[in-house]
């Protein structure tokens, strides 16, 4: 199938050609006809599958076909809500690229920066608004945004929204939307909380599922290094030195851990930067920009800050810590091997993380090959039995701990973050 078979107009086809896209990805091939047909959609897919184009192309086409007929200032007719600033910026950039011959405009708003330039843009009017939930509600309450004219609503990365504690914000936003609209709901995972939420947003909908393993795990070359915790940094330095020109995205489970890795690499004359929720928006954008432009070869990120970021030519993803949520592994390795490209994902596994490895392999339905030839190989870890878990006992311990010490930022336990969420909206 080609894009030309999907009923997309010439203005958008030309822009897709400029992007070098010839064939739709599976989610695009399935979702675009449904959306052009004005049906609601529940999409079970993650970034890296071509999801952004799948929802922006039909919206651009609908908006192009129905003029913004409110005299004077353009009214916001499409709203895309997404959890992180990085994703919001990326989606807006994609809309600009795919819509460059349509005359359809977009504005992106997110927290963590002064609102002035955003409100200036909103005053000038726009067709599409891309927003993170907190800033959207702030600017609605200040009277800068009205959702009265919304015809198209997209809730992106819904599971992450819930993990980040945005559920109340989302409900408030939905309550302000006109009844008559086309709604699109995307989530990488579909636990019951997400299905509940989708039923509040969608009318009579069609479902499209793109399994993560189809999308990424199969085409990314993966390997495991069994290595003790103290040797992880040495192994990372060794790998970076062995691949001096590679652009490497390193995942750390915690913000503190990410900063520590930057320091350790610095002592070995390896320049890197960290992005996580404690960094200012400016610092995050700078680090990401330098990484994307190739000025910085190594970026250390926590999961939330890195989710959805799209870096062309990313050669290597390193899981410095294995995630305890197996889906997170798929998100991480999906940073490389975007769309049609293939990539490499290397994971460090110490003894405590063997249980996580087992869960990951179960999810992706693959045995990840083990690299046993490296200077820091630890045979004991490799031969040690897999600890049971994360067992009920371990879960209880985490729960107990989190009940005593609620705190913001990246957490080890998704349930913990959901609980804390209602107390405090977290900043990423």
Contact footprint for ligand AMP (CB under 6 A): 21, 24-25, 28, 47-53, 310, 338-340
Instruction: Between 47 and 252, name the residue whose CB sits nearer to ligand AMP.
Output: 47
Report, in Å, the least distance between residue 383 CB and ligand AMP.
39
Instruction: Between 134 and 337, name the residue whose CB sits nearer to ligand AMP.
Output: 337
Instruction: Between 52 and 222, name the residue whose CB sits nearer to ligand AMP.
Output: 52
Report, in Å, the least distance between residue 6 CB and ligand AMP.
11
Report, in Å, the least distance between residue 188 CB and ligand AMP.
11
Instruction: Between 18 and 120, name the residue whose CB sits nearer to ligand AMP.
Output: 18
d(CA 344, CA 243): 12
Q: Which residue has the tokens 């843009």?
A: 121
Instruction: Between 131 and 224, name the residue whose CB sits nearer to ligand AMP.
Output: 131
CA 135 to each of CA 114, 116, 142, 248: distance values in angstroms, whole numbers, following the listed order: 10, 12, 11, 32
d(CA 233, CA 258): 11
d(CA 220, CA 342): 5
DSSP 79-106: EEE-SSHHHHHHHHHHHHHHTTTTT--E
What 3-state class would DSSP assign to 114?
Answer: coil
Instruction: Between 97 and 259, name the residue whose CB sits nearer to ligand AMP.
Output: 97
DSSP 345-403: EEEEE-GGGHHHHHHHHHHHTSPPPB---STT--HHHHHSPPPPTT-HHHHHHHHHHHH
Estimate to the nearest angstrom the gap between the alpha carbon of 327 and the chain centroid: 12
Report, in Å, the least distance between residue 44 CB and ligand AMP.
13
Report, in Å, the least distance between residue 382 CB and ligand AMP.
35
d(CA 180, CA 152): 9
Which one, of 253, 367, 242, lies nearest residue 304 by Cα? 253
Report, in Å, the least distance between residue 391 CB and ligand AMP.
35
Instruction: Between 132 and 402, name the residue whose CB sits nearer to ligand AMP.
Output: 132
CA 111 to each of CA 143, 176, 178, 260, 325: distance values in angstroms, whole numbers, following the listed order: 17, 20, 25, 26, 27
Under DSSP, the state recorded for 113 is S
Report, in Å, the least distance between residue 419 CB and ligand AMP.
30
Structural contact between residues 316 and 298, judged by C-beta atoms closer than 8 angstroms: no
Report, in Å, the least distance between residue 340 CB and ligand AMP.
6
Report, in Å, the least distance between residue 58 CB and ligand AMP.
14
Instruction: Between 147 and 306, name the residue whose CB sits nearer to ligand AMP.
Output: 306
Instruction: Between 224 and 317, name the residue whose CB sits nearer to ligand AMP.
Output: 317
Which one, of 281, 332, 280, 272, lies nearest residue 302 by Cα? 332
């Amino acid at each position: 199938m080609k894009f030309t078979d999907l009923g997309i107009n010439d203005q958008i086809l030309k822009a897709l050609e400029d992007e070098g896209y010839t064939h739709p990805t599976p989610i695009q091939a399935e979702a675009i006809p449904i959306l052009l047909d004005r049906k609601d959609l529940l999409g079970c897919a993650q970034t890296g599958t071509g999801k952004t184009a799948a929802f922006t192309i039909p919206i651009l086409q609908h908006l192009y076909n129905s003029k913004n007929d409110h005299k004077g200032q353009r009214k916001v007719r499409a709203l895309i809500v997404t959890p992180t600033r990085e994703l919001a910026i990326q989606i807006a950039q994609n809309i600009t690229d795919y819509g460059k011959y349509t005359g359809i405009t977009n504005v992106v708003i997110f927290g963590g920066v002064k609102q002035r330039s955003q409100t200036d843009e909103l005053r000038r009017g726009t067709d599409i608004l891309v927003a993170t939930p907190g800033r959207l509600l702030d600017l609605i309450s200040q009277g800068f945004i009205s959702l009265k004219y919304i015809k198209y609503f997209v809730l992106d990365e819904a599971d992450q929204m819930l993990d980040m504690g945005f559920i109340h914000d989302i409900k408030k936003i939905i309550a302000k939307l006109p009844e008559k609209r086309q709604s699109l709901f995307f989530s990488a995972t579909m636990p019951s909380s997400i299905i509940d939420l989708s039923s509040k947003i969608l009318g009579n909908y069609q479902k499209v599922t793109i399994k993560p393993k189809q999308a990424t795990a199969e085409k990314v070359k993966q390997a495991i290094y069994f290595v003790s915790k103290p040797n992880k940094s040495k192994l990372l330095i060794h790998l970076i030195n062995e691949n001096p020109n590679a652009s490497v995205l390193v995942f750390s489970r915690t913000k503190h851990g990410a900063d520590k890795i930057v320091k350790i690499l610095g002592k070995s004359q390896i320049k890197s930067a960290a992005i996580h929720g404690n960094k200012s928006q400016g610092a995050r954008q700078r680090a990401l920009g330098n990484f994307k432009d190739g000025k910085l070869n190594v970026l250390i990120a926590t999961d939330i800050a890195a989710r959805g970021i799209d870096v062309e030519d990313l050669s290597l993803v390193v899981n410095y810590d294995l995630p305890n949520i197996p889906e997170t592994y798929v998100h991480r390795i999906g940073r490389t091997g975007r769309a049609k490209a293939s990539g490499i994902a290397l994971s460090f596994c110490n003894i405590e993380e063997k249980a996580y490895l087992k869960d990951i392999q179960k999810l992706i339905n693959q045995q990840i090959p083990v690299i046993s030839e490296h200077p820091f190989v630890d045979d004991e870890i490799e031969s040690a039995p897999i600890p049971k878990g994360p067992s009920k006992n371990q879960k209880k311990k985490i729960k107990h701990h989190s009940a005593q010490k609620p705190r913001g930022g990246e957490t080890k336990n998704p349930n913990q973050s959901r609980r804390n969420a209602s107390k405090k909206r977290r900043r990423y």
